[in-house]
Structure 1
Amino acid sequence: MVMMVFGRLVVSLKSKIRSLKMKKPYDKIEKSESMRVEIRSRKAQKLIQETLKIADSPNSRTTLAV
C-alpha cells in the first residue's frame, strides 16, 4: 500500500516537472487600435448572430401577433 502511494507521488511529481519545463516565457504584446477594433467587431457580429437566431426561431415571442 505504501508503494502505491509512493508510486502515485512520483508520477504526479514527474508530470508537474514536465509541465514546468514546457512553459515558455513570452513577451506580451500590446494591442494596437486596429486589433481593438477587430475584437469589438467580432463581438458585435457574434451578438448580432445570436440575436437574429433568437428572433428567427419559431418559438420566439418577439413577433407581434396580428
Structure 2
Amino acid sequence: MVMLGLGRLVVTLKSKIRSLKLKKPYDKMEKSDSMRVEIRSRKTRKLIEETLKIADSPKSKTFNL
C-alpha cells in the first residue's frame, strides 16, 4: 500500500520535472537608449532631492557669502 503511494509520488515528481525542463528560460532584454536615459535621469533626480534635503536642513553647515 505504501509502495503504491510512493510510486504515484515518484511518477508525479518525474512529470513535474519534465515539464520544468521543457519551459524555455526567458531571454534577457537589452536596454535601449531611452531606457538608459530614463535610469540616469531617475538617479539624477534622486541625487538632487538628497542634496536639497541636506541643504535645507537646519543642521547643515553652509556659509552665507
TM-score range with shorter-chain normalisation?
0.5 to 0.7
Q: Which has the larger radius of gyration?
A: 2
Runs of at least 5 residues in structure 2 that lack an aligned partner in the other structure: 1-19
Q: How many residues align?
A: 43
- Residue of structure 2 in register with 1:57 after alignment: 57
Runs of at least 5 residues in structure 1 that lack an aligned partner in the other structure: 1-20
Runs of 4+ with >2 A deviation:
none
- Residue of structure 2 in register with 1:26 after alignment: 26
- Residue of structure 1 in register with 2:47 after alignment: 47
- What do you get for the CA RMSD once the two structures are aligned? 2.1
Q: Distance in 2 between matches of 1:29 and 1:63?
A: 48
TM-score normalised per structure 2? 0.58
When residues 27 and 60 of structure 1 are mapped into structure 2, their CA distance, relative to the original with a 3 A threshold, is same
Identical counterparts, % of pairs: 74
Shift of 1:62: 1.7
TM-score normalised per structure 1? 0.57
